[in-house]
Each structure stands twice: as C-alpha cells, then as structure tokens.
Amino acid sequence: MEIKKIGVLGAGTMGAGIAQVAAEAGFPVILVDIETAIIEKALKAVKKAWKKAMEKGKLDESEMQKREGYLSTGNSMADFKDCDVVIEAIVEKIEVKKAVFKELDEICPKNTILASNTSALSITEIAAATGRPDRVVGMHFFNPVPVMKLVEVIPGAESSEAVSSAIVELCKKLKKEPVLAREFPGFIVNRILVPYINEAAMAFQDGVASAEEIDKAMKLGANMPMGPLALCDLVGIDVLLMVCEYFWQEFGDSKYRPSLALKQKVRAGHLGVKSGKGFYDYK
C-alpha cells in the first residue's frame, strides 16, 4: 500500500507542522483550510522555518525550492480527491470530526486512508461515521511537529492491519518514531500526561504554591524540561479541560475529575499562550 500524496485538513499549528514535515520528506502535500487567513499564516510560519534553516546552513536554495514545490494549499475538501492519505487536524470535538470524516468519505477515492490527529478521542467512533472504517486510523503527532519525534498510531476496532502498517511506514518516511497504541481515551502519552497536568492545576487551586513554584519544583525535583502549568498554557487550557472532561466521561473514575482551576481559567477566556494569559501572563 504505497502512499504518494498526502492531504492535511486544518492549517492550525498542528496541521501546518504536519504539512511541513511531509514536504521536507519529499511528499507532495496539500494543506486545506476553509479560512484563507489561517492558510496564509501557516505558509508564513513554514517558510520562516525553512529560511531560518538556510541561514544556519542546514538547507540550500535548491532544496528550499523543492520543498516549496511539494507544498500546495486549498480551501475545499474536494482538493483531496487524488490523495492517498488525508490527515485531519481540526478542533477536538467528536461531533465535528464525525461530520468531517463523513464528508471526506464521500469525496475521497475508496482506497484513501483517513487519519485523525486526535489526541484522545475514539477512532472507532470517528470511523463509524464513514463507509470505510477499515481505512480509518489515528495518527497522533505532537507539538511542535517538526521537532517532536513521536507519532502514536491508533487502530480503531475495524482498522485493517494493512492500513495500520502503511501508516507506521509513513511515519518512518516522515522521520518520526511511531508507536502502536490500543484505543483507550488519551492513548499512551495523554493518558499519563493529562492527569499529571490536572493534578498540578489542583495543587495551584488548593494554594499549595504559586504557578512559578509548582513549575520550578517539577523541573528541578523531577527533571522535567518544562513545568506542568507552563505546558498547560502552551497546549491550551481549553484543550486540557476538554480532554479531562472526556476522560471523566469515559472512565467514570474520580481521579480524572477536572480541576476547578482549569474551568475557571477557561470561563475567564484565559486559555494560555494563544490568548495571551493563562497560568502566566504573556501580554
């Protein structure tokens, strides 16, 4: 099962990063988003990264031109009509994803693999919205995509072994390290990481220490490269809250109960780096 052309749906931070690594690996890739401004922002960020690599002597002019030639953009899912795989990287809302996959199923050729970059949601449920559940799989990249090596590959209940194997091989061609994970909420990384961040938010909520002290303690005491609350701000507090609520709903276990601190931040519109304020002030 050979993958020659890649489609990426959603030109946000994750989608732009996925498109960037695909072009860098020599794959023709089309990045699609309904918002022209978001596509323009994504292209600007990708080209800025490549120009920076040129300035450092890691990339020459001819290779830069090749990469730019591999990367194209579009505003409609109809642009995926000749893609071998489409990787969805849109909002983490199950109903939105199901609607999108239903549409992709109607647009894309029957042999196209449909992959979701979801960080926690059910691949089986997403796949059930299509007429090709055997060709739907999870392909969870990590932020920032050009830097982070890991990709979690998550087969759904009906994903074929051939499709999962093809995605594993694609990850390797993208110079990533794939790990296969069974379908459970949060898969591997977020199953462990999100409760850790939520517990840090609980400690903050209880007044154990300031955000700065909590992060300093975890960096110096547990050798973490970044404190949990700074990481929460980077990922997006609304995203962390959504995943916590999903875990709470799916597992029904009190250990996944979302911190009130996360809820209060989201209610105030303090979503972290992207809004300019979260546990820290970025303005």
* Catalytically annotated residues: 119, 140, 152, 190
Per DSSP, what are the bridge partners of residue 177?
Answer: 150
Question: Can you tell me the distance from the alpha carbon of 168 to that of 16, in angstroms, rounded to the nearest whole number?
Answer: 20
Do the annotations mark residue 51 as ligand-binding? Answer: no
Q: Are 179 and 150 in contact (CB under 8 A)?
A: yes
Do the annotations mark residue 143 as ligand-binding? Answer: yes
With tokens 């087969």, the residue in question is 155
Do the annotations mark residue 217 as ligand-binding? Answer: no
Smallest CA-to-CA distance from 70 within 23, 19, 9, 17 is with 23
With tokens 């998550």, the residue in question is 154
Smallest CA-to-CA distance from 81 within 115, 114, 107 is with 107
Do the annotations mark residue 269 as ligand-binding? Answer: no
Do the annotations mark residue 93 as ligand-binding? Answer: no
Q: Are 37 and 140 in contact (CB under 8 A)?
A: no
- In degrees and rounded to multiples of 5, residue 45 shows phi and psi of -70, -40
Burial category of 192 from C-beta neighbours within 10 Å (exposed 0-12, middle 13-18, buried 19 and up): exposed
- Going from the C-alpha of 147 to that of each of 118, 223, 240, the distances in angstroms are 18, 20, 21
Give the start-end residues of each E strand in 85-162: 85-88, 113-116, 136-141, 150-155
Do the annotations mark residue 199 as ligand-binding? Answer: no
Do the annotations mark residue 207 as ligand-binding? Answer: no
Do the annotations mark residue 66 as ligand-binding? Answer: no
DSSP state, 102? H
Do the annotations mark residue 33 as ligand-binding? Answer: yes
Do the annotations mark residue 11 as ligand-binding? Answer: yes
For the beta carbon of residue 245, count every other beta carbon within 10 angstroms: 15
Can you say which residues are annotated as belonging to the binding site? 10-15, 33, 92, 97, 119, 143, 274
Binding site as annotated, residues for NAD(+): 10-15, 33, 92, 97, 119, 143, 274
